Structure 1
Amino acid sequence: MILANASINWLAVLACVVTGQLLLTVWFAVIFAVPWARAYGGPTMTKAQHTKEVPGYTYAIGAACVAALAVALSLLRTALDVSGIGPSLALGLLVGLGVFVPMALPAYAFLRRWNAFALGAGSQLALVLALSVVLDLFA
């Protein structure tokens, strides 16, 4: 695997960051806001309480992590010669189910936070699939 000549499309990375932040905001603040708040704060935690407790800097950290993920996926696409929506989605599934889920599960299992695991792992799988498609669209 030689990546010496791999070029990263930085516009695609920026598009991934925007897409990722939008997807995760909709996932955690709209679709699954109440279950996510309760998964972390207990059965009486409200969406508003949970939102208030999240430090603002975590959004910048999240954006930086999405950028790092986009760069890594871009390099993987180059190394594996992935092109097309189907192969891009297959790569996303491989990374999501083969890397993200197994890495997240032990921590959530130790804490016995199964709902948090389902919501967190689901968001990561959706994220890697979305970024895989965005990168393919910019290829």
Structure 2
Amino acid sequence: MLDALTRINWLAVLAATVAATGLGGVWFTALFGKTYATVLGRAYDPKAKPAPLFIVGPMVCSLAAIITSALLMKALNLSSAGEALAFGAVVGLGYFVATMANTAINPNMPRPLMYSLVSGPYFFLMSISTSLILVAMP
């Protein structure tokens, strides 16, 4: 499967990473910023500048996940939008949303269910959209 590293389109991986990062930025600030802060038990401050770790960290994690998806999509020989949509949905729900919900269920998360309801759809949509980008740029 690692021979697929030479067959993936790295420009598509970069484009998908930028898209995932942009979606996350909009999702967790403009769309659900206040709700997200409340779910985390924090005061909402739309003018606060996040530390670089909170921008670069998720971008690096998204990059790793997108490379993994690209490898799996090549190994599975997925090439249509329908296949990408199905792959993105299965991976999004089965890995991303499940892992995110599992992470939320800990004593340090004040509202795990609400956190899952805010964050889960982002990870699901991110998986679908990045899978579609990867198949659109073979």
TM-score (norm: length of structure 1): 0.86
Show the counterpart of 1:137.
136
Listed as ranges, the matches of 1:4-83 within 5 Å are 4-6=3-5, 7-42=7-42, 45-48=43-46, 51-52=48-49, 54-83=50-79
Q: Could you tell me how far apart the structure 2 residues matched to 1:13 and 1:86 are?
A: 19
Bigger share in helix: 1
1:120 corresponds in structure 2 to: 119
Aligned to 1:91: 87
Q: Counterpart of 1:48 in structure 2: which amino acid?
A: P
Q: Deviations over 1:24-77 (max 9, x none)?
A: 1111111111100111125xx21437x44x422221111111211111111111
CA gap 1:60/1:5 in 2 versus in 1, 3 angstroms? closer
CA contact (8 A) 2:4 2:71 kept: no
Q: Is the Cα contact below 8 Å between 1:3 and 1:79 reproduced in 2?
A: no
5+ residue gaps, structure 2: none
Paired letter, 2:126: L
RMSD: 1.8
Q: TM-score scaled to structure 2, two decimals? A: 0.87
Contact in 2 for aligned 1:88/1:133 (Cα 8 Å): yes
Letter in 2 for 1:4: D
Q: Judge conservation of contact 2:97–2:120 (CA < 8 Å) in 1.
A: yes
- Mapped to 2, the partners of 1:4 and 1:48 lie a distance apart of 45
Mapped partners of 1:88, 1:82: distance in 2? 7
Seq. identity, %: 28
C-alpha distance in 2 between matches for 1:134 and 1:119: 24
Deviations 1:79-131 (A, max 9, x none): 11111111101001110111122222233233442111111111111111110
Unaligned runs of 5+ in 1: none
Q: 1:5 offset after TM fit, Å?
A: 4.8
